[in-house]
Chain A
Amino acid sequence: MLRRRLNRLLGGDERRVDNRTIYIGHRSCPASEVFIPPKFCDNRIVSSKYTVWNFLPKNLFEQFRRIANFYFLIIFLVQVIVDTPTSPVTSGLPLFFVITVTAIKQGYEDWLRHKADNEVNKYPVTVLEDGRRINKESEKIKVGDVVEVKEDETFPCDLILLQSSRDDGTCFVTTASLDGESNHKTHYMVPDTEKDLEALNATIECEQPQPDLYKFTGRMHIYKNNQEPAVSPLGPENLLLKGATLKNTQKICGVAVYTGMETKMALNYQGKSQKRSAVEKSINAFLLVYLCILVSKALVCTTLKYVWQSNPGHDEPWYNEKTQREKDTNLYLKMFTDFLSFMVLFNFIIPVSMYVTVEMQKFLGSFFITWDKDFFDPEIEEGALVNTSDLNEELGQVEYVFTDKTGTLTQNNMEFIECCIDGFQYKYRDVSTELDGFCVTDGPVSKLQEKAGREKEELFLRALCLCHTVQVKEATEQCQGQGDGLIDQVDGLGVDGEVHQLLQEQRGFIASSPDEIALVKGAMRYGFTYLGLESKTMKIMNRHSEIEMYELLHVLNFDPVRRRMSVIVRSRSGDTLLFCKGADSSIFPRVRQEEVERIRMHVERNATEGYRTLCVAFKRLSAEEYAQADEGLREARLAMQDREERLMAVYNQVETGMSLIGATAVEDRLQEEAAETMEALQGAGMKVWVLTGDKMETAKSTCYACRLFQKNTELLELTVRTLEDESKTREQRLHDLLLEYHKKAVQDALPIKAGVTRSWSMSNQDYGFIIDGATLTMVFNSSESNSSSYKSLLLQICQNCTAVLCCRMAPLQKAQIVKMVKNSKGSPITLSIGDGANDVSMILEAHVGIGIKGKEGRQAVRNSDYAIPKLKHLKKLLLAHGHLYYVRIAHLVQYFFYKNLCFILPQFLYQFFCGYSQQPLYDAAYLTMYNICFTSMPILAYSLLEQHICIEVLLDNATLYREIAKNAMLRWGPFLYWTLLGVFHGLLFFFGVRCLFSNPALQDNGQVFGNWSYGTIVFTVLVFTVTLKLALDTRHWTWINHFVIWGSLAFYVFFSFFWGGIIWPFLKQQRLYFVFANMLSSVSAWLVIILLILLSLLPEILLVVLRKPRGPHARQKKLAQSSVGGLQSPRSSARPLLMRTFSDESNTVI
């Protein structure tokens, strides 16, 4: 953190020097008279916090910045300096323990970071130096080094591409780890560089490092034989960023321009900030209350002490004279030290052990997540992963779930299901049995067993093969030979089914949209294989294993407004063909109407089946038509202004009068149990927002499939599309729509009942809200005055919708949305779940970040707080684990405060009877051991094992989650209850024994008890009551609970005997010598102990009994109802509506 800030600062300083000059290969250039090797930082990445040297001081400093630790340190110091009633050991020892354990843990974590850093920094790279290839460690790269990178390697620093193994001077990279976009991007060589890097004599002048990934400006001066240097401009397309991966290119050479912490990746590195759970905030609040209690207690005692001491007989009676030193001390100093002494005496009210126990509970508790075999996914052979244990309980508090779509809700695994050609349905069944791939299944009822004409079939398949932007993945080296062999065989017409099959398996496609791959693969299964694009020529292999070549003339790109894409190709025979595919709503108006009806039926049926449908149309362009289109397109592409609009106009003009040839149905498989999971989350009162970078239509259909949008959900759409309005500007339209939706969703909605904060009732109209990235930007960036009001409007609308879909989000926008909700009123707890690198920002932003161990790398997992293999595991993670963790820790916290209150209250009350002299009621051993030994284990066991409702019931009844919503168990109400209980118990303990001691002759031999007996009786009652209170609260008695509860009581008895049974040589005073044994020999003591324990627990038992009759019965009833309801309602309504097609807008407002 500090380092980053420092770097920023340094960066800021450097920025004054606008540019940096880099000498490629460190070769001095003729032009520059003086060659001063400029100093840049090395290529080391440092994410670790400590070094061996600064670990101790820095770590201690950081630890004592925590208010609790600091408090205990102060107490300890006071005990050391001032003469206090308890020895410094009582608080020093636990503090030392806590500090040590934390230091070890943090040291270990930092060691891991060092290891990770080293892995990056010591990564071997090849540097070209004076014509030799030198293997270096990554950290040794200096600015100006020429680095060689091979395929699938990540770039070790920011490089300017000088040379590529590809002929066209390009290379492909993915920047998945930087911005989450995992499509291949093309980067270009600097023009005019020589092939021979040896001879290259050039300097690069570029701007100082800055974090924007998409901005880079620079110039390259190339010196050739003392000529005037040639200058070529450098832009982001020449810059290869550290962290990006080279793809589809064998190797490249580049010159390092930014290294180490100055790389764009490092500048963008968002440190994993410490997330604090709501429970921790509650703890801090309670801590404050107790601190106030503590201080006021100390103040009261100090004041009363001096009031009491004003009577000379009290201050210094003859039997109890002060030492000379005490007499000499200044009165005010004495008062102050008295105050501190009281603080020390009562400091146990805020026990250091609570922090230890909470940490232990969190740490050990998180193992149950990793151990859970339900989270084990046999496919990836992995279970859940817990990256931070600090947030376990937060899982039980989630109010907003932000989920990524692709890879999270869906498997991102498109599968071609069926197609419809010319009104006939073709369903792909099994390729091995029917090699020709086609079989007609249930076609239209009237035309059963009929097939479309062969010509139409082939046209359709050619369309599928041509109309896309898919790239064929170039075979990597090891399978290159194989692939070549195959292709040879193909060329030689020696294809049989097996090879075909093999080819299919071998062939890898890369596309920005998985739908396209599914279509191409679908076509392949029907015999038409796309072989790739070579110098503007698309090659496909038809059913007869002949290669057909098409010249690719134009690609009319997909865009969300048109919702279709087209290609214009020229076949061998010279025909110019336009193939178009797109959403039915955008295709149907552009084709001849008589063809539509036959296909519409299929499309609609497929849509209801839940498939993504696309319609395919084609058009034969005459030479004139083509010439006209060609010219229009070229002109539009070159236009400097309104390029988009002009292109669109040409597109629209070209894509008319087509003939519909068929439709396809592709299934984007939802993740297993995605819908059930979403339903459960909603049932649990969580609001699910889908944040995706995907197209709106796709996302919407997924939402329907996941039952986030239901049939009766009214969709409020705020997208680029709905903002299109001729009459008004976009801003105005945005304003109007926002107001309209706000009126609809917020104002007209029934006022929510006070008690039920999260109403998700079936009776009300459900709203779903859709917004896209561009509109969101408008909302956020609109003029200052409006921005905040728009934001709050938007937020209010969103909060009143059952589900919100945000599509076409950039990674940062996702985080923006999460942040917006996170900071909204009531600061709801947010959870983000995603699998890709583009979700990292929102995972980091949300209170709880969950990574899915998907196929898209490990970025999300590494940055998450928890990682699970599948979406479906989220349900158990939240509903069962989260719920239980929350209940456990909430109880733990409340219990801890309670038990220390009733521990210390008698001690406080005793001051009134001992002349406010800070005389402790309990022996020092008891004071120290109370929290460490006698009462810590039962609550720890409870907080690890308690299942107040068993896991199955929690999973079956999502609504149970709402019972603990909004930090229900740690609000002031329950806190007050526990505090009052503690006060009640404390009073009871003290005054009960006080009454007994009105005659201290308690033994049957007439002997009397002293003050230590008094304390021991109170303490015994205390330990038993507090432990039994926990026993009363325990709903889930495993043998461990039994062992620990009865064990610690037994231990207490044993310890007391032991402690009082020996004259301890190291003790100054043998205060407890046989006190406990003598106590037990007194019948009265027994009787009073039993009486007080019972009396303390009586109200508890009564309360439990009075509350319980409603509890279990109601729960059973609820169970019965929900199981009945659960069977009928949601499932019945959901299935037919599983998915919508692109065209489905029936529910959209507008």
Chain B
Amino acid sequence: MMASSYNAKDEDGHITVSGPGGATLRSKKPENTAFKQQRLPAWQPILTAGTVLPAFFIIGLIFIPIGIGLYVTSNNIKEFEIDYTGVDMSSPCFNCSQNYSWNSTKPCTCTIPFHLDQPYESNVFMYYGLSNFYQNHRRYVKSRDDSQLNGAAGSLTEPSKECEPYAYHESKPIAPCGAIANSMFNDTLELFYNDPNGTKIQIPLNKTGIAWFTDKHVKFRNPGGNNPNLTAVFQGTTKPVNWRRPVYELDTDPENNGFINEDFIVWMRTAALPTFRKLYRIIHRKNSMVPTLPRGNYTLEVVYNYPVRSFEGSKRVILSTISWMGGKNPFLGIAYITVGSVCFFLGVVLLIIHHKYGNRNNNADISN
């Protein structure tokens, strides 16, 4: 049988050599460590109704009060909004909105009277709001040169390509370059309190403290170090096309002029959504006895420079107080109350299920 070569039908030949066999000794015994044996001590949580139930109740019990607190806080925030776009014929700003021209030297002014029903007790924040303005458009968002704004001398004379087509004007570099800077909001808003005795008192509007501290002090820097003569520093550059004044004439206060002008900084922080508001001025409370903005009639004087009709946008002014949670926004309160209630409700449902199921389970165990 053994000699039967190449006969597949034969025995399934397995060589069976009995006798001494050489063994190669190689000790490769795996280490007996907990990690290698997948026996690391482990916490094995099992989420059951029993363990989760308290969590649900606790969440419910925490969220509902927070939600109520938020809701109340939000409701206590006073907010007044005036649209001054001037779409309607009746609107005081209608004329201005119609006769718009970037080049007109004579500013168009409109006056909007309004009435505050309630006194605004604490600091009042004045926002301007734009709608249908796509500050978050990609082409727009990237159209800036942060190194120029940070005071880099090289970028001042050679703005980044990202700024195109707002990088050069008449072969002079634009400072600050880019679409964002170019389209900076340039309406001037002034607020007057119409005293019942007939006098019109201008309310002092504070133009500092509206930008992020870090933006004002680190991210935005005037070029030329501490050279106070900004005119000289910006020599050789030109103002953005749409601006009426060069950047070094934005304000008289040297701490709020040039790139570190807070209005400019605020504008440069692009908004997340096409309808947005930006902080314009702060009305500080003078003393605790008098409300910041007492009840009564007011006049808003607008120097109407900023065109929004071409893209069907709108402009508005918002007067708002602020709480610890920021501006008025009922969403958080409602959301918290809802989630808290849902959790609580689920907790109750689970409790019932757990109770019933637990019983059934016990019964089953007993019957077993």
- A residues engaging B (CB < 8 A)? 85, 174, 176, 181-187, 213-214, 236-237, 313-314, 317-324, 367-368, 370-373, 375-376, 380-383, 406-407, 412, 469, 471, 473, 505-514, 517, 521, 555, 557-558, 692-695, 773-774, 808, 810, 836, 838, 855-856, 913-915, 917-920, 945, 947, 950-951, 992, 994-1015, 1032, 1035-1041, 1063, 1067-1070, 1073-1074, 1077-1078, 1082-1084, 1087-1088, 1091, 1094-1095, 1098, 1101-1102, 1104-1106, 1108-1109, 1112-1113, 1117
Contact = CB atoms under 8 A, between A and B. Distances in A.
Contact of A1074 (B3, B214, B328): B214
Interface stretch (B196-204, B249-257, B267-275): B267-275
Contacts of A808: 9, 12
Given A176-B15, A510-B15, A1000 B325 contact: no
Closest A-B pairs by Cβ, 6 of them: A183-B13, A693-B12, A319-B183, A1001-B327, A508-B19, A313-B311
Interface in B1-60: 1-6, 8-21, 23, 25-32, 36-38, 40-49, 52, 55, 59
Interface string B128-144: 00001111111111111
6 contacts: A236-B5, A1000-B276, A1068-B145, A1074-B219, A1095-B339, A1105-B47
B28 A997 contact: no
Contacts of A692: 12
A517 B312 CA distance: 100
B350 interface: yes
A320 B2 contact: no
A868 to B, nearest CB: 13
A1012 B279 CA distance: 17
B320 A1069 contact: no
A1084 B330 CA distance: 11
B158 to A, nearest CB: 13
B42 A1038 contact: yes
A505 B9 contact: no
A1036 B277 contact: no
Given A473-B19, A692-B12, A1037 B276 contact: no
Given A319-B179, A320-B140, A1063 B18 contact: no
Given A320-B183, A1013-B272, A184 B138 contact: no
B339 A509 contact: no
A1098 B322 contact: no
Interface stretch (B109-117, B159-167, B225-233): B159-167
B28 A1038 contact: no
A1084 B69 CA distance: 12
B29 A381 contact: yes
Given A321-B179, A383-B30, A1074-B214, A999 B47 contact: no
B301 interface: no
A324 to B, nearest CB: 7
B15 A1001 contact: no
B237 to A, nearest CB: 19
B336 interface: yes
A376 B215 CA distance: 64
B13 A999 contact: no
Residues of B contacting A: mostly: loop
Contact of B182 (A314, A319, A521): A319
A372 B37 contact: yes
Nearest to A1004: B324
Nearest to A317: B311
Contact of B16 (A319, A510, A945, A947): A510
B310 A313 contact: yes
Contacts of B205: none
A797 B320 CA distance: 81
Contacts of B258: none
Contact of B44 (A919, A1035, A1074, A1084): A1035
B80 interface: no
A805 to B, nearest CB: 14
Contacts of B182: 319
Interface residues of B, number: 124
A1038 B40 contact: yes
A1084 B219 CA distance: 25
B269 A1008 contact: yes
Contacts of A1105: 47-49, 52, 350
Contact of B134 (A182, A917, A918): A917
B271 A1094 contact: no
A237 B30 CA distance: 47
Given A317-B134, A996-B331, A856 B30 contact: no
Which of B43, B278, B361: most chain A Cβ within 10 A? Answer: B43
B173 to A, nearest CB: 16
Nearest to A774: B9
Given A692-B12, A838-B12, A998 B331 contact: yes
Given A412-B16, A1063-B218, 20 more contacts: A183-B13, A318-B310, A320-B143, A368-B38, A372-B30, A376-B29, A381-B29, A469-B2, A505-B19, A509-B16, A511-B16, A808-B9, A913-B273, A914-B136, A1000-B272, A1004-B325, A1011-B272, A1037-B43, A1091-B332, A1098-B343
Given A1008-B278, A1063-B218, A1087-B336, A368 B48 contact: no
A381 B160 contact: no
Given A319-B182, A371-B36, A1102 B346 contact: yes
Given A510-B16, A1038-B41, A996 B329 contact: yes
A406 B41 contact: no
A1037 B44 contact: yes
Nearest to A507: B19
Contacts of A995: 331, 335
Which of A318, A1098, A1105: most chain B Cβ within 10 A? Answer: A1105
A1067 B14 CA distance: 71
A1083 B325 contact: yes
A277 to B, nearest CB: 21
B142 A1084 contact: no
A1040 B42 CA distance: 10
B104 to A, nearest CB: 15
A43 to B, nearest CB: 24
Contacts of A412: 14, 16
B209 interface: yes
A1002 B327 contact: yes
A66 B16 CA distance: 47
A1084 B324 CA distance: 8
Contacts of B140: 319-320, 917
A1091 B336 contact: yes
Contact of B125 (A213, A473, A1001): A1001
Nearest to B132: A313
A242 to B, nearest CB: 16
Interface in B152-175: 160, 162, 164-166
B150 to A, nearest CB: 6
B3 A186 contact: yes
Contact of A320 (B30, B46, B139, B326): B139
A1011 B5 contact: no
Contacts of A1088: 332, 335
Given A317-B311, A693-B12, A994-B273, A1091 B29 contact: no
B142 A1069 contact: yes
Contacts of A323: 164-165
A248 B315 CA distance: 103
Which of A506, A512, A514: most chain B Cβ within 10 A? Answer: A512
A383 B47 contact: no
Contacts of B145: 1068
A347 B133 CA distance: 28
B48 A1087 contact: no
A1013 B135 CA distance: 14
Nearest to A1065: B147
A407 B38 contact: no
A9 B180 CA distance: 68
B177 interface: no
A334 to B, nearest CB: 12
A810 B8 contact: yes
